Amino acid sequence: MSAVEAKMAAAAPAQPGAATGVARIDARFAACKAEGRAALVTFLTAGDPDFDASVGIISALPAAGADVIEIGMPFTDPMADGPSIQAAGLRALKAGQTQIRTLELVRRFREIDQATPIILMGYYNPIYVYGVERFLADARAAGVDGLIVVDLPPEEDDELCLPALQAGLAFIRLATPTTDDVRLPVVLANTAGFVYYVSITGITGSATPDFGQVGAAIARIKQHTRLPVAVGFGVKNAEHAAAVAATGADGVVVGSALVDRIRASLDGDGRATAATHDAVISLVGELARGVRAGRA
Amino acid sequence: MSAHSHSASPQAGQRPNSYRSGPDARGRFGLHGGQFVAETLMPLVHELEAAWAEAKADPEFHAEMQRHLATYVGRPSPLYYAERLTEHLRAGARKAGRDGGAKIYLKREELNHTGSHKVNNVLGQIMLARRMGKQRIIAETGAGQHGVATATLCARFGLDCVVYMGAVDVERQMPNVFRMRMLGATVVPVESGSRTLKDAMNEAMRDWVTNVDSTFYCIGTVAGMHPYPAMVRDFQSIIGNETREQMLAAEGRLPDSLIACIGGGSNAMGLFHPFLDDPEVAIYGVEAAGHGISSGMHAASIAGGRPGVLHGNRTYLLMDADGQITEAHSISAGLDYPGIGPEHAWLHDVGRVNYLSATDDEALAAFQLLTRLEGIIPALEPSHAIARVIELAPQMPQDHLMVVSLSGRGDKDVPQVAEMLGPNLDGNTGGARA
């Protein structure tokens, strides 16, 4: 399905639970827009700190206020991630997380929720080694709606982006402060679902962005696309979420701050405790209130 | 399993018109290479491509480079006939009832300023960085040879220098850490992941993605995203170009074989590339087999790896069934990397270069043999190449001309070797007085 077809699919009235893939993402952003607010997009690493705890936390995200769920596929060498998400990936790998178990996690989530979009985020090598066609088929069957693969720029679109679009999965691209007006159309060409604007030059979980500049960047991107624009990198609390929502963003992405909540709740051996689940879910609740306050 | 298993790759077995025309416009060498990097870096990568294309076509750039190579680096490096090594291996062949024993030449890259071939590439990249107006240089290093070369050129040209080095390697290679600091570089021990070279490269890329405007990333080998593999190869090709001229002057013809060690593979690519279209020249690359390929404790990406994507390029990688990168092992920190340059991966696929390996023990024995016979202490990295020379040379006729890249000197390895052999050389396995 092309980006254009995806938009047409989204224009049809969404039946709860009926839409999948690109259409499920479009339906959710449209619903948030109808409520006059930005979507809350949460990121957690699959299998962090272990598979069962991870299933429990991710299953509880929609009720706590997450509108779109990004699930990180752990990788040994996450070149674009800061210390928080690097450590989350290593915790998950140590606990035995694999690509197959990440898809199993999505399947378990889909047993209880058919409306919340699931985006898998990570690096290309584990997908490449799994086999691109097999991965896309298995991901689609598990209930995945989109992919963010950090190390696949438009120059490498034939590797995964085009096959993913053909399989009905959105390939969500990152736009950054270095993506100028010449390059932006290249980045947006095969993007579907939404555009992920990385608000800083840097790695995940680092500096908090200058919200004034974020507003200008969103306006610039929106001149090139009708897709929703979600903003991430450096959003740590409800106040930041409200500030980003107020810039006109269609979505606010929070990752490292949630992952930090997991880390802070673990016992001395890095295992989940009774506090882990609520530590994450309570922050998601605060962020959801922040997103809603942003446009109030 | 993989979408492109190597035997099924469309490039395998297909003979190109020239082995020297790669990469293509997308930075590919057959299946390998490419530009697998985050969007933040893509504009910088394109900027670098353009700057390199422009510099490459500018005679001024080459003239200035030539000047520094002659007066600062100390080029050309000699092509040295290793007479005693040659005689020793011929004597061994005679004992075995054979008449063979190739004539062995060493390409003496260890005589360059800073003690290895690394400086050839660093000089080129630093001149390019200056041309691009970048004042801050970052680099990754394993054993510290590339880090020392980078710190040296930054001192020479008054540039800020930050070197990322795995915390494990910082402990193993203290003398080089101190050298870099004396030269004014900031050495950052990398505590993430496995705390070795691959993690240093991750951290350098994280720095670059953060400091996009000010910073030039000086990659130390023929790996990373396009244009690095081709650019580093071009800077290192001076090794092979000189060898060609020197061999013609010494023997009146081209060598019959070339041999070099391979981590990422920059000294090897530099020696090999000018000879790729000379079918009469046999070419051997030697990976580090550590405790042996079957032990799983090695750094031989071609012998023991599969195609995957890491650090901006597709190539042979050491990884598990789920695509997670595994740790390399080698006695030599400079070969301790779970990948190999993409052009080597392609040269393997098309069969132009024969990729062999040598174990830790074989390298250590070769290290001692060369030291005793020629009075040249090689680094542990080229000792892997010498190890295969010891095996191959006696099988060749006496008029066979074999060139080994002696990519670095072994001073940095003396403490490590002393620890392994004992201060009185009780564990000496070389013992060749010939």
Residue A170 sits in a domain whose CATH number is 3.20.20.70
Average pLDDT value for chain B = 93
CB nearest A76 (choices: B36, B193, B206): B193
Domain co-membership, B167 together with B218: yes
Q: Is the peptide bond before B16 cis (omega within 30 degrees of 0)?
A: no
Burial A114-144 (b: 16+ CB within 10 A, else e): ebbbbbbbbbbbbbbbbbbeebbebbbebbb
Spatial CB neighbours of B252, under 8 Å, sequence gap ≥ 6: none
Strand ranges of the sheet holding B136-141, from the earlier edge strand across to the other edge: B186-190, B160-166, B136-141, B215-217
- Domain edge (last residue) among B194, B227, B260: B227
| CATH classification of the domain holding B365 | 3.40.50.1100
**Tally of domains within chain A:** 1
Q: Do A206 and B210 touch (CB under 8 A)?
A: yes
Mean pLDDT of the region B69-96? 97
User: What tokens does A108 get?
Assistant: 């378990």
Residue B304 lies in a domain: yes
Does B272 share its domain with B187? no
Q: How far apart are CA B261 and CA B147, in angstroms?
A: 19
State the DSSP string of chain A. Answer: --HHHHHHHHHSPPPTTT--THHHHHHHHHHHHHTTSPEEEEEEETTSS-HHHHHHHHHHHHHHT-SEEEEE---S--TT--HHHHHHHHHHHHTT--HHHHHHHHHHHHHH-SSS-EEEEE-HHHHHHH-HHHHHHHHHHHT--EEEETT--GGGTTTTHHHHHHTT-EE--EE-TT--TTTHHHHHTT--S-EEEE-SSS-TT-SPP-HHHHHHHHHHHHTT--S-EEEESS--SHHHHHHHHHTT-SEEEE-HHHHHHHHHH--TTS---TTHHHHHHHHHHHHHHHHHHTT-
CB B40 to CB A174 under 8 A?
Answer: yes
Q: Is residue B2 part of a domain?
A: no
Q: How far apart are CA A123 and CA B366, in angstroms?
A: 40
Interchain pair B192, A129: CB under 8 A: no
**Domain stop point among B204, B227, B250:** B227
Radius of gyration of chain A (CA): 17
Residue B428: pLDDT band by 50, 70, 90 thresholds?
Answer: low
Q: Lowest mean pLDDT: which of A256-260, B8-12, B82-86, B199-203?
A: B8-12
Smallest CA–CA distance, residue A98 to chain B, in Å, is 6
Q: Do A155 and B42 touch (CB under 8 A)?
A: yes
Q: Do B210 and A132 touch (CB under 8 A)?
A: no
Give the residue-averaged pLDDT of B83-103: 96
Query: What DSSP line would sit under B147-160, residue for residue?
Result: HHHHHHHHHHHT-E
Range of the domain at A45: 3-293
Residues B252 and B201 in one domain: no
Q: Which of A90, A150, A177 has its CB closest to that of B38?
A: A150
Q: Does B5 reside within a domain? A: no
User: Would you say residue B426 lies in a domain?
Assistant: no
Over residues A93-150, the pLDDT tens digits come to 999 999 999 999 999 999 999 999 999 999 999 999 999 999 999 999 999 999 999 9
Domain membership of residue B392 (yes or no) is yes
**pLDDT of res. A8:** 42
User: Are B206 and A80 inside 8 Å of each other by CB?
Assistant: yes
Residues in chain A: 296
CB A89 within 8 A of CB A72: yes
Instruction: State the pLDDT at residue B434.
Output: 38
Q: Report, as an integer, the average pLDDT of B154-172.
A: 95
CB contact at 8 A, A241 and A260? no
In a domain, B20, yes or no: no
Q: What is the pLDDT of residue A210?
A: 84
Give the residues across from A122 on adjacent strands.
Answer: A149
Looking at the annotation, which residues of B are catalytic? Answer: 118, 140, 407
CA distance B226 to B208: 16
Q: How many CB atoms lie within 10 A of CB A15?
A: 9
Q: Looking at the DSSP assignment, which residues form a beta bridge with residue A120?
A: A71, A147
DSSP code per residue over B166-222? EHHHHHHTHHHHHHHHHTTPEEEEE-STTSSHHHHHHHHHHHHHHSTTTEEE---SS
Tell whether B92 and B173 lie within a shared domain. no
Residue B231: phi and psi, rounded to 5, are -65, -45
Q: Which strands make up the sheet holding B28-29, listed edge to edge? A: B28-29, B32-36, B312-317, B306-310
Domain boundary among B173, B208, B227: B227
Residue B224 clears pLDDT 80, i.e. is over it: yes
B295–chain A Cβ distance below 8 A for any pair? no
CB contact under 8 A, A128 and B308: yes
**What amino acid is encoded at B362 in this protein?**
E
Q: Is B347 found in the same domain as B320?
A: yes
The chain A residue lying nearest B210, using CA atoms, is A202
Q: What is the dihedral of CA B232, B237, B238, B241, to 10 degrees?
A: -170
Using CB atoms, which residue from A82, A131, A153 is nearest to B1? A131
Q: What's the pLDDT at A34?
A: 97
Instruction: Select the residue from B309, B311, B317, B319 to test the A interface by mutation, using most A Cβ atoms within 10 A.
Output: B309
Q: Is residue B183 located within the same domain as residue B276?
A: no
Q: What is the pLDDT of residues A278-288, one digit of tens each?
A: 999 999 999 99
Q: Does B333 lie in the same domain as B417?
A: yes
Q: What is the pLDDT of residue B14?
A: 61
- Using one digit for the tens of pLDDT, what is the confidence trace for B330-356? 999 889 899 999 999 999 999 999 999
Side-chain-side CA neighbours of B172 within 13 Å: the count stands at 22
Which residues in chain B are contacts of A133 at CB distance < 8 A? 3
CA–CA distance, B267 with B54 (Å, rounded to integer): 24
Over residues A189-216, the mean pLDDT reads 89
Residue recorded with tokens 């060369």:
B370
CB atoms within 10 A of CB B189: 16
Nearest residue in chain A measured CA to CA from B321: A129
Contact between residue B390 and residue B94 where contact means Cβ atoms under 8 Å apart: no
3-state DSSP assignment of residue B70: helix
Q: In B, which residues are within 8 Å of A154 by CB distance?
A: 42
* Angle, in degrees to the nearest 10, between helices B118-131 and B59-68: 130
Q: Which residue of A has its CA nearest to B204?
A: A79
pLDDT at B433 over 90: no
Query: Does residue B12 belong to any structural domain of this protein?
Result: no
Whether B8 has its CB under 8 Å from any CB of chain A: the answer is no
Q: Domain for residue B192, yes or no?
A: yes
Q: Which two tokens stand for residue A204?
A: 């995940």
**B306: which chain A residues are within 8 Å (Cβ-Cβ)?**
129
Which residues of chain A neighbour B41 with C-beta distances below 8 Å? 178
What does the pLDDT average to over B45-71?
Answer: 97
Distance CA A187, CA B42 (A): 11
Q: Mean pLDDT across the stretch A204-216?
A: 85
Per-residue pLDDT tens digits for A227-272: 999 999 889 999 999 999 999 999 999 999 999 999 999 999 999 9
Instruction: Record the tokens describing residue B35, joined without a space.
Output: 């530009």
Chain B nearest CA to A174, separation (Å): 7
Exposure b/e, A235-246, CB count within 10 A at least 16 = b: bbebebbbbbbb
Nearest to A271 by CA among A116, A106, A92: A92
- What band does A206 get if pLDDT is binned at 50, 70 and 90? confident
pLDDT digits (tens, 9 = 90+) for A20-54: 999 999 999 999 999 999 999 999 999 999 999 99
Task: Tell me, yes or no, if A12 comes closer than 8 A to chain B by beta carbon.
Answer: no
- Which helix (H) or strand (E) element contains residue B259? strand B257-262
Residues A93, B274: Cα–Cα separation, whole Å: 44
Residue B177: give the domain boundaries.
Answer: 27-62+118-227
pLDDT over 50 (residue B3) = no
| Chain B 166-205, residues with CB within 8 Å of chain A CB atoms | 192-194, 198-199, 202, 205
Q: In this complex, is the C-beta atom of B44 within 8 Å of any C-beta atom belonging to chain A?
A: yes
Interface mutation target, options B5, B40, B46, B219, chain A, most CBs of A under 10 Å: B40
A126 vs B contacts (CB less than 8 Å): 322-324
Is residue B96 located within the same domain as residue B199?
A: no
How many structural domains comprise chain B?
2
- Which chain B positions have a beta carbon within 8 Å of A177's beta carbon? 40
Query: Residue B10's CB: how many other CB atoms inside 10 A?
Result: 10
- Residue A211's pLDDT band, with cuts at 50, 70 and 90, is confident
> Does residue A16 have a pLDDT over 70?
no
- For residue B229, the surrounding DSSP H or E stretch is helix B228-236
- How far is the alpha carbon of B210 from chain A, nearest alpha carbon, in Å? 4
Asked if residue B315 lies in contact with residue B223, where contact means CB atoms within 8 angstroms, the answer is: yes
